[in-house]
Every structure is written in structure tokens, then in C-alpha cells.
Amino acid sequence: MTAEILDDPSGREHLPEHAVLGRYRLVQRLGEGGMGVVHLALDRQGRAVAIKVLRPHVALDPAARARLSREVDTLGRVRSPRVAPVIDADIDGERPYIVTRYVPGVPLDDLVESQGPLDGDALHRLGSGLAEALDAIHGCDVIHRDLKPGNVLVVDGDPVLIDFGIAHVADDVRLTMTGLVMGTPGYLAPEVIEGAPVSRATDWWGWAATLAYAASGRPPFGRGSMDAVLTRVTAGDADLSGVDPRIAPLLYAALAPVPSERPHEREVVTALERYARGGLVTDVITVRPRPTAPATEALAVPRTSVLPLSRNPLSRNRSRQPIPPVAASLAPATQPQQALPDTRPQQPLPPTLVGAPATPAPATPVPTTGPPPGHELERTAYPQAPAPSPQGAPGSPGEQQVDPRIGRPSRSGTVAALLGLLTATAAVAPVVAALGLLLWMVLARTTDRSVTSLVVRRHEKGRRRSDVPVAVLAGPWHLLVGTVSAVFGAVMPAVIAVAGAFCAALAVVASRGSGSPQPDAFLPLAVGGALAGLLAWWGPGGAGLRRGTRSVVRGLSPGAGGSRVLVLLLLVAMGAAVAVGLTQGQPSWWPMTSPWADGSLLP
């Protein structure tokens, strides 16, 4: 098919039947997303393939071509029957496309929705099959980073992992230095939400969340706004009420917010196997630390630097570089599908060089089916237009957009210095400290809402020129909502601060053995201020405050040098507050008077 036939000013393709694109005859549109369309096609030998084609307006974006190129390079590294391999690609042409094996399966989310949750052997086959896929891609220094039910196809009970459009490659420096691509809320690991780099543990957490979905029939962290879902993820607030009680503790443990508290994936697979046989699963779980080093550390491994990326045949000349196709054949549509054989290796698959060309998976391929002329294809893995994100289809624009908060430095030292300043100020000027904390909560929450709103907008509609004007116009609304949420969020820290000051005053009296409690003294006020700051940070609704605070401090002090200067200034301010307190001899309640001045509030 020529580029002229494919072009459409509206950005949507209206393909005539049996149109031709390169060496492939397009048979039927299988699905589409905001960035592209996936077609079922036949090659010159009549074998069925899936072709992902970028939309005309998206193809003009160099970043979109770079993502498609990265997907080709990523799939070229992996050898596994649980991963749909790349067969051919044209990245530099007027209409870029990528050709992968056609997987005649059903998306896991559609399967669960139509047939109900999985249990027993079905759940074990899903877990062990996806574990095999992750072992294979991790063995090639690749992090999928968007493992979710919609990216898993089920063929006769066995899973195939698809859509490597936002995968993270160990030696892919250029595409990862400016920030990480946002995954799917609800399946994005909590440590990544908090700012940690992606690692293998990122995929294993998404694997556990996908298993929880399959076992319960609903997202483990619910639905709703992205901010609400991410808050539940970071708190470990998983809803597993629909999961079989025999394996619910197993999945709770695998979804722990702290990576070191999660059981090893082999233990989870073993427990699922025992569950499938009707045995107990809790006695095989042993929580132990797992390595959480980011995948980017693999840059130092010699095998990733033996050949430059440009040595890959697909990278050197993408315009016409077919890869040996898989041995798939067309059969009547009524032919039953053959299950993928279980070829799970005892050890991780051997890694391949960056420059190695993609070859078929070393296993008996799944026979594919093509629709006879004049007949529609059966309902399979690919939702019909305009359903979102089928196999290999570029997802909605948001799945490819950058969230500037993810993967950035958490600035823990700066945050600790802020807490120290709050504590010191609370000891010498408690009212000023309380007002300062409240104003900071308003600023941080407003910033977080603004950034989150922009990410959600791009997640749903893609990057647009109107993003900044819309963000500016929405600023007053974000300020209002941030102020209201900060006021309500400050109630509990204020109560705990007062209670903490009284307890500290009583502890001082107990240590002296005589006297009356003085909650308005330096030490009790400092304790109260510290408790208020810690509860605001880690208490209910603290996720927005944490994200917003880190965004603000990164903006105030860009780079490592700026961070050191800001920490130094905060330490100087803290020392000044202590000096003022020592000079005046007692706390200042300006612009108020001490509520304990007349002793009426003392116990």
C-alpha cells in the first residue's frame, strides 16, 4: 500500500480491503489507540502477522519514531515463547510500522470480564507463564514497566506478554535521562511513584497486581482519579476482598509497598502451584530482601557495550530489514488453537548481544488463523475500533507521556532539613511554625494537583499546545482545592501536636520528680512541631504533600549543587531559630498570647 492511500487529514485511517503496506496485505483493523492502529495482515507467503502503524500526525513526531524504534530494539533482545517477537519493521519510512507475530489470544482483562476470575490451575498457569516472560526480558537487561492485564494475551490458558512501547533498556541512556515514561496507575510500583528508578522489582510488583486482578476480577487498587489510585498504591491499600482467602495473604505480601518485604517471585509461583493442587500456601512464603538495584546499573556490564546499538541490522537500515518470520501458517478459522508449550527453562535464558538480530522464539509457534475472504475475524485479542490499546498498538497518548516527578531525586536531605526547621521554629515561635506548615501544605498540594492534572490531561489526550494555557487557567481552582484539602489535612496533625506537647511536658515533670507540666516550654513545643510535621507527611492524604514538596524543592534548587545550597540555608535558618530562642529565654506566641498563660488549660 502506498503512503497516499494511508494518509488521512483527520488522523484516522480508512483502509480499502486488501490494501498493501510494504510486503504485507492488510486484512482487517484489529484495534487502535491515540497514537496508532493495529492491523491483521498477511505476508507474501500467506502467514498472519500484526502490524502496528503510526498515525500520520504522530509519525511527524521524532519522539514517537524513537519510541517505536526502541520497541523494535527491545523485542530484538528477547527470546521467549511468552513474548510476541518482532518480525519486520520500517521506522524511517513515511508511514512507520512494526510487524510482530500475530497472537490469536484474548486480553486478560476481557477474559476475566467475560468468564470471571481465575482460580486453581488457570491462575497458576498465568503466574508461571508471566514469570517466564519476565525472566526472559530481565535476562536481556530489559524492564517492561507496564505489565497490566491489557498487555497480557491468553492463548488456550497460556499468557503472552505484549506492548514494549515504554520498556526500559539498560543501555538506553538517551531516552531515560530526561525522565521516565508514565506507566498505568494501579499497576505502577509504589517505589517508582515515590521517585525511585525502575528496576526488576517494578515488573514483579506489576506481575503481582495483575495476578490480583485475575484472581478477584477487579483492579486491586480500585478505580477513580489517578491521584486517589496512586495514594492507595503507595499505602499498600489493596482491595483483595474477591480473592480466595487461601491465597489472599500471598498476594497481600507480594503487593507490599517496600520491595524488601515482598516474597520472592519463585515462592509466589510455588505457592500458586500448591494452591492449584488444593494445598496450603502460607507455609511456603518466606519474605526476604531482593536486589532492588536499578536496571541502568547494567551499563557497566561489558556485553551491553560490545557492539554499538547502530550495529543492529534493524537500527542500521530500518527501511527494509525483514527478520526471519516465525513458522506460522494460515488455517481455516475453525481450526482449534494450540496452546503454547511449557518450555520454562530451569535457569534464566542466556543474554544476547545488543546487535543480535531478532529471530523467532525457540519453541513451537502457535498456529495462527486468518479470516476467509468475505468473513469477519472472530473476537480475539484485538478490540475493535475504537476500543483502546490492542496487541502492540500504541496506547493512548498518556501511556507515552512523561511524568516529570517519576525517577527524579527524592531530595530526602532537603526534606529532613525542612522538618528540622519546622521543629526549631515550633520551639521558639509555635504560631509562626503552624502558619508556615499550613502555607507549605497549601503550596505543595496545589503544586501536586497542577502537575497531576497536566499528566492526566496528557495521559488522556496527548501532548497539546494548549497544555500550558489550560494549566494556567486551572491554577485558581487548584489553589482553592489545595487550600481546602490542606486545612482539613492539618486538623489531625494539630491535634496530635497539642497532645504530643502535653505528653512531653508530663514526661519532663516525671523525670524531675516535681513541678507542674509546662507544655509551652521549648522541648514540649519542639516535640509537638516534629509530630505535626511527621503526621502531615505520612498521615492520611500525605502522598500529595510528599509529591508536591519534592516538586517544589526540586524547582527551588535544581541540580546537586542547588540542593546542597538549599540544605545549607535551611540549616542556617534552623540555627538562627535556636539562637533566637536562647536569647529571648521563652517561646514567642506572636501574633497571639500563650493559651497556657493563665494556667486554665493545664491539667
Binding site residues, as ranges?
52
Assigned C-alpha cell, 384: 475493535
Strands (E), 80-143: 86-90, 97-101, 106-107, 142-143
Q: Is 64:40 a contact under the CB 8 Å cutoff?
A: no
What is the C-alpha separation between 442 and 479, in angstroms, rounded? Answer: 7
Strands (E), 33-131: 36-42, 48-54, 86-90, 97-101, 106-107
What is the residue type of 101? R
Among the listed residues 200, 214, 99, the one whose alpha carbon sits nearest the alpha carbon of residue 159 = 214
Residue for grid cell 528508578: 197
DSSP H helices, 302-400, are 313-316
Adjacency order of strands within the sheet including 106-107:
106-107, 152-155, 158-161
Detail the residues annotated as belonging to a binding site for ATP: 52
What is the residue type of 2? T
- Strands 48-54 and 97-101 turn out to be antiparallel
φ, ψ (nearest 5 deg) of residue 20: -120, 135
Strands (E), 162-253: 168-169
Distances 430 to 128, 499, 509 between C-alpha atoms, Å: 57, 14, 21
H/E run at residue 213:
helix 200-216
φ, ψ (nearest 5 deg) of residue 21: -130, 110
Half-sphere exposure of 108 (CA within 13 A, CB side): 34
**Cis amide leading into 386 (omega within 30):** yes
Q: Is 135:89 a contact under the CB 8 Å cutoff?
A: no
Distances 135 to 131, 226, 255 between C-alpha atoms, Å: 6, 30, 19
